[in-house]
A and B are shown apart, each in its own frame.
Chain A
Amino acid sequence: DARVTQTPRHKVTEMGQEVTMRCQPILGHNTVFWYRQTMMQGLELLAYFRNRAPLDDSGMPKDRFSAEMPDATLATLKIQPSEPRDSAVYFCASGPRDRGRRTEAFFGQGTRLTVV
């Protein structure tokens, strides 16, 4: 049963520390999304990759957030330095999305980040 795998599932860190979240998309999926979810803002798109190339990261605070896909099996989201307002659940999703195909996106279980 193919699934999107995110690590770690939970992370508690102190303000100012670097945080790296990892995602293993489903094999063969060419599109990867990073979302952040909070009670106040709901699900916000942070970054979006197609064939490992970043297509849209306009939702991501550039001064402290960075997203990369070093290879097709790994996507990373890094926060440096972290702040308490970054506390949220971060979801990764992947999908086999091509022009003309509106296929479903598969979400991971999320990384719950708490910055104290």
Chain B
Amino acid sequence: LAKITQPISMDSYEGQEVNITCSHNNIATNDYITWYQQFPSQGPRFIIQGYKTKVTNEVASLFIPADRKSSTLSLPRVSLSDTAVYYCLVEDSGYSTLTFGKGTMLLVSP
């Protein structure tokens, strides 16, 4: 399993762009990078997934450099409701389980 390292916490203000970087140095060729978001008292929710370069959806962007040893989740113009824990996961195949680390607690202030 790839070892995941991400910041424990981050602070931001409304309207700012937030970038959360995840390190996965021993990622394997078949591994994908996936991000989940969890609000208090709720289950995790899928945000975005990618293999290389850049992926964008209506919620976020995911930047993955050529060596794939890290990835950056970018949240444009955050609001108070983006306060949550963000988990970076590395998935090796459709049969794999989802292994969650400690995640990054993002606090957005007014």
Q: Which residues of A are in contact with B by a Cβ distance under 8 Å?
A: 4, 33, 35, 42-43, 45, 48, 50, 55-56, 91, 93, 97-110
Q: Contacts of B94 on A, CB cut-off 8 Å?
A: 97-103
The answer to whether B13 has its CB under 8 Å from any CB of chain A is no
- Name A103's closest neighbour in chain B (CB-CB): B94
Q: When each residue 85-110 of chain B gets 1 if its CB lies under 8 Å from chain A and 0 otherwise, what string results? A: 00100010111011111110000000
Can you list 5 A-B pairs with a CB-CB distance of less than 8 A? A45-B97, A98-B95, A102-B91, A107-B43, A110-B41
Contact-residue bracket for chain B: 20 to 34
Q: When each residue 35-61 of chain B gets 1 if its CB lies under 8 Å from chain A and 0 otherwise, what string results? A: 000000111111001000000000000
Interface of B is mostly: loop
Q: Which residues of B are in contact with A by a Cβ distance under 8 Å?
A: 32, 34, 41-46, 49, 87, 91, 93-95, 97-103
For the complex, give the distance between the alpha carbons of A108 and B102 in Å: 20
Residue in A97, A99, A102, A107 whose beta carbon sits within 8 Å of that of B44 in the complex: A107
Please tell me if the beta carbons of A45 and B99 are within 8 angstroms of each other in the complex: yes
Q: Contacts of A33 on B, CB cut-off 8 Å?
A: 97-98
Please tell me if the beta carbons of B32 and A110 are within 8 angstroms of each other in the complex: no
- Name B91's closest neighbour in chain A (CB-CB): A102
Please tell me if the beta carbons of B93 and A102 are within 8 angstroms of each other in the complex: yes
Closest Cβ of chain B to A33, distance in Å, is: 7
Looking at B46, B87, B95, B102, which has the most chain A CB atoms within 10 Å of its CB? B95
Please tell me if the beta carbons of B42 and A109 are within 8 angstroms of each other in the complex: yes
User: What 10 pairs across the A-B complex have the smallest Cβ distances?
Assistant: A107-B43, A104-B46, A43-B100, A101-B94, A102-B32, A97-B94, A91-B43, A99-B94, A98-B94, A102-B91
